[in-house]
């Protein structure tokens, strides 16, 4: 079999550094590099505070990196400011953990989703009616006339996902998009996001604490630890042959079907001082 040519990445991130606070700057992201190809889902996992959201914000241009490169379709994300090329910006869609940060409280559900569709039309792409996208995320079209405050948290999150998908994105940056959903909905909504991403040949950066969902939906996984990617690779490989001690402890913490999981001891060489006082969220799930 001949080897396939790798597709040009939708997103190319190299040596990304994000710092907070003036002079005595704290380095939240410390030289992160990754590519995401069309139709590919890359999961970014790691303990709370390791720099996942900071990476995501830098990728979409919400956070100015201290240094490094972020290229979307070979172009720097920096020029994609709000004032320039707005139609290109809409090809990058974000879904955040808190749907309230992306939904307008004064606009009915159907119009929120229609706003996403308008973004697709601006790029000469076909659109679907809001009811189509509500169906796609497992919501009843009867919710179309509601305002966000008339929805449950999980419903709001699905609307936020529907709106992002209606824009027919080329790159989806999803930061904990399924945390607000109940366990059974998490897997199905994640699967739906993956399906639509693959079908559209879009790329997705998927940040999640739910490693069982990551295992199901991500083509590749990057494990982040204290601002750096300590391990990355095809998801099955990282799962079956983890090489970094942090990855091993992370994976050991996934609950088994019998409800048991292993709260790992911090690897001696790598144990951050915070582990004693602050158990990472991903590990907490096993309790």
- What tokens were used for 147? 């305002």
DSSP string, 162-179: HHHHHT--SEEEEESTTT
* CB-CB contact of 73 with 81 (8 Å): no
- E strand or H helix that includes residue 13: strand 11-20
179 part of the interface to ligand ATP, by CB under 6 A: no
Least distance (Å) between residue 49 CB and ligand ATP: 4
- Residues touching ligand ATP: how many (CB under 6 A)? 10
Residues 12, 37, 48, 118: which binds ligand ATP (CB under 6 A)? 48
Q: Which stretch binds Mg ion (CB under 5 A): 49-57, 60-68, 76-84, 246-254?
A: 49-57
Tell me if 32 sits within 8 A of 229, measured CB to CB: yes
Q: Residue 33's binding partner, choosing from Mg ion, ligand ATP, none, with beta-carbon cut-off 5 to 8 A by kind?
A: none
Q: Does 53 bind Mg ion (CB under 5 A)?
A: yes
Residue 156 makes contact with ligand ATP by CB under 6 A: no
Q: Is 157 in the site for Mg ion (CB under 5 A)?
A: no
Q: Which is nearer to Mg ion, 46 or 242 (CB)?
A: 46
49 binding ligand ATP? (CB under 6 A)? yes
Q: Is 52 in the site for ligand ATP (CB under 6 A)?
A: yes
> Which parts of this chain interact with ligand ATP (CB under 6 A)?
20, 28, 48-54, 281
């Amino acid at each position: 079999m001949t080897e396939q040519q790798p597709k040009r990445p939708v997103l190319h991130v190299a040596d990304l550094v994000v710092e907070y606070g003036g002079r005595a700057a704290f380095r939240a992201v410390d030289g992160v590099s990754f590519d995401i190809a069309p139709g590919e889902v890359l999961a970014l996992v790691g303990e709370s505070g390791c720099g996942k959201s900071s990476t995501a914000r830098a990728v979409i241009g919400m956070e100015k990196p201290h240094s490094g490169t972020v290229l979307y379709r070979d172009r720097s994300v920096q020029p994609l400011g709000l004032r320039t090329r707005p139609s290109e910006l809409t090809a990058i869609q974000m879904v955040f953990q808190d749907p309230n940060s992306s939904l307008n409280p004064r606009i009915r559900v159907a119009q929120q989703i229609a706003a996403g569709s308008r973004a697709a039309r601006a790029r000469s792409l076909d659109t679907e009616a809001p009811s189509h996208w509500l169906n796609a995320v497992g919501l009843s079209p009867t919710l179309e006339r509601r305002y966000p405050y008339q929805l449950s948290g999980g419903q709001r999150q699905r609307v936020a996902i529907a709106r992002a998908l209606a824009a027919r994105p080329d790159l989806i940056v999803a930061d904990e998009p399924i945390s607000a959903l109940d366990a059974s909905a998490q897997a199905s909504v994640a699967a739906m996001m993956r399906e639509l991403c693959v079908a559209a040949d879009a790329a997705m950066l998927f940040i999640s604490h739910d490693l069982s969902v990551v295992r199901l939906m991500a083509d590749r996984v990057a494990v982040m630890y204290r601002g750096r990617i300590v391990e990355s690779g095809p998801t099955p490989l990282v799962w079956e042959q983890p090489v970094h001690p942090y990855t091993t402890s992370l994976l050991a913490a996934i609950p088994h079907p019998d409800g048991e999981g292993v709260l790992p001891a911090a690897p001696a060489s790598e144990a951050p001082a915070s582990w004693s006082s602050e158990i990472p969220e991903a590990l907490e799930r096993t309790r």
